[in-house]
């Protein structure tokens, strides 16, 4: 028998330490709910779990971003609902003014309501606000960051956890001036004194590129306008041919032919008819106004009355009806774009939520504690720890037998 080294006690102590260490880890996992509390628990699992957590956070924020984007779209679309309603009322008023039973006083009263409706369209557009962003305003290109996309405010929505997962939503100037400026791509004053657009027309070029016009259509419209106006004028007779040349690359227009002479274009009625026909190629015409009351705020396109006695007010009113219909189509197009993006965002949100849910479940399987399994391990280590403690006590007592030999 030896007393310097109590090997059974050393063995019992080692097992007791091991069991207590295991018990401590069991308690940590049970109390935290996580299987991995430090890299030492599972280094690879920790790395995968942290990457998943980062993605889950991004997905959850992207969901919030998409919901915010829907809020902005609904704010815009709600405002345009009333803009549409006012444009419809304008159509009614312009059609009413075109009726021959109304005198100048009656039409002036109609024009007052038209102008007030125009003012309200401007007010709604300039004051529709979402968190300081005014996507329908006349200065919608002036974002707080100064970043613009052409002449439109470009709102980039981050709808995913990684770079490139974005949705672009362009602002639109929905004031009266903005609506018609977007539509009116061909101006009557672009046509020269000899019926030429020698330097080219960006509006004509764009309409041809978008396949909204072709050279044959332009030729027919302008030639018919000249012949119709000349047929209504006693002092102008067209003898010979009239031709129109259109350059699709530049939008340049040249009117010539033996029948198109200086005397033909020099007639005020013919010149006016040709300019009107050219101005109408894009479907939007500026109504005739007296210089003293000329508008530059978009109201020139809804102007029925005029201070000039030689203006055909019925023709003006019908022109305004056509202009407003183009404006209605323009607003409808933008509202359709907003609606399409809202529907897309709703699907985006559904996808983000499902992806977040599945990624969270995957992260849980790696990181979370299986409570039943861990409780079983805790029970085992607890019993072993108590048993090891008891055996250590017994091993420490085993050396007491030496004392009997020393008596």
User: Does 143 or 226 have the greater pLDDT score?
Assistant: 226
Query: How many other C-beta atoms can be found within 10 angstroms of the C-beta atom of residue 230?
Result: 21
State phi, psi for 315 to the nearest 5 degrees.
-65, -40
- Choose between 155 and 366: higher pLDDT: 366
Q: Residues with Cβ < 8 Å from 230, sequence gap 6 or more?
A: 236, 237, 238, 264, 267, 270
257: phi then psi, degrees, rounded to nearest 5: 115, 160
Paired tokens of 384 = 């072993």
Q: What is the pTM of this model?
A: 0.80
Residue in the block written with tokens 């985006």: 348
Q: What percent of the chain has pLDDT over 90?
A: 46
**DSSP β-ladder status, 196-197 and 166-170:** unpaired
At residue 141, the pLDDT reads 53
Q: Looking up tokens 């861990």, which residue turns up?
A: 374
From CA 227, how far away is CA 224, in angstroms rounded?
5
In the prediction, which pLDDT does 167 show? 93
What does the pLDDT read at residue 363?
94
**Mean of the pLDDT values across residues 326-353?**
95
Which tokens sit at 372? 């039943």
**Which helix (H) or strand (E) covers residue 293, if one does?**
none
Half-sphere exposure (CA, 13 Å, Cβ side) for 201? 27
Contact in structure between 191 and 197 (CB atoms under 8 Å): yes
The pLDDT assigned to 4 comes to 79
| Residue 144 pLDDT greater than 50, yes or no | no
Instruction: Give alpha helix (H) positions in 98-144.
Output: 104-127
Mean pLDDT within 133-147: 66
Tokens for 269, please give them: 């009625």
Rounded to whole angstroms, the Cα distance separating 55 from 60 reads: 9
Distance CA 53, CA 57 (A): 6
pLDDT band at 255 (very low <50, low <70, confident <90, very high): confident
pLDDT bracket for residue 312 (50, 70, 90): confident
Q: What is the mean pLDDT of residues 146-161?
A: 70
Res. 93: pLDDT tops 80: yes
Q: Is the pLDDT of residue 147 over 50?
A: no
Mean pLDDT of the chain: 88
Cα–chain center distance at 186: 28
**pLDDT tens sequence across 28-42:** 899 989 899 889 889
Lowest mean pLDDT among 56-65, 143-152, 217-226, 350-359: 143-152
- Nearest CA to 223 out of 173, 300, 277 is that of 277
- At residue 287, the pLDDT reads 80
């Amino acid at each position: 028998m030896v007393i310097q080294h109590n090997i059974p006690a050393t063995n019992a102590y080692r097992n007791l330490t091991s069991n207590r260490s295991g018990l401590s880890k069991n308690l940590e996992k049970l109390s935290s709910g996580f299987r991995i509390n430090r890299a030492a628990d599972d280094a690879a699992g920790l790395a995968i779990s942290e990457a998943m957590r980062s993605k889950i956070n991004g997905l959850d924020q992207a969901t919030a971003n998409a919901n915010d984007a829907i809020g902005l779209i609904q704010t815009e679309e709600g405002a345009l609902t009333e803009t549409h309603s006012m444009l419809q009322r304008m159509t009614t008023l312009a059609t009413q003014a075109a009726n021959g039973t109304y005198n100048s006083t009656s039409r002036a009263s109609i024009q007052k309501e038209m102008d007030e409706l125009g003012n309200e369209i401007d007010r709604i557009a300039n004051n529709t606000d979402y968190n300081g962003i005014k996507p329908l305003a006349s200065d919608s290109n002036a974002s707080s960051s100064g970043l613009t996309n052409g002449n439109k405010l470009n709102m980039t929505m981050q709808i995913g956890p990684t770079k490139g997962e974005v949705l672009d939503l362009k602002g639109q100037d929905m004031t009266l001036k903005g609506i018609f400026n977007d539509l009116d791509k061909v101006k009557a004053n672009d046509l020269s004194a000899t019926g030429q657009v020698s330097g080219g027309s960006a509006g004509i070029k764009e309409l041809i590129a978008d396949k909204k016009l072709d050279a044959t259509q332009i030729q027919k419209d302008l030639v018919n306008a000249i012949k119709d106006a000349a047929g209504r004028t006693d002092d102008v007779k067209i003898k010979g041919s009239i031709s129109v040349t259109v350059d699709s690359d530049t939008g340049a227009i040249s009117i010539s032919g033996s029948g198109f002479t200086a005397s033909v274009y020099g007639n005020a009625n013919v010149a006016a008819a040709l300019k009107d026909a050219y101005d109408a190629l894009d479907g939007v015409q500026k109504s005739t106004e007296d210089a003293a009351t000329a508008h530059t705020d978009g109201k020139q396109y809804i102007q029925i009355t005029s201070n000039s006695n030689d203006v055909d007010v019925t023709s003006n009113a019908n022109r305004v009806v056509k202009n407003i219909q183009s404006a209605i189509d323009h607003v409808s197009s933008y509202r359709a774009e907003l609606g399409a993006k809202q529907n897309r965002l709703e699907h985006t949100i559904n996808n983000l939520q499902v992806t977040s849910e599945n990624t969270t479940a995957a992260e849980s399987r790696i990181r979370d504690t299986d409570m039943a399994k861990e409780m079983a391990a805790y029970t085992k280590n607890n019993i072993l720890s108590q048993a090891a403690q008891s055996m250590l006590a017994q091993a420490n007592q085993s050396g007491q037998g030496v004392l009997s030999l020393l008596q």
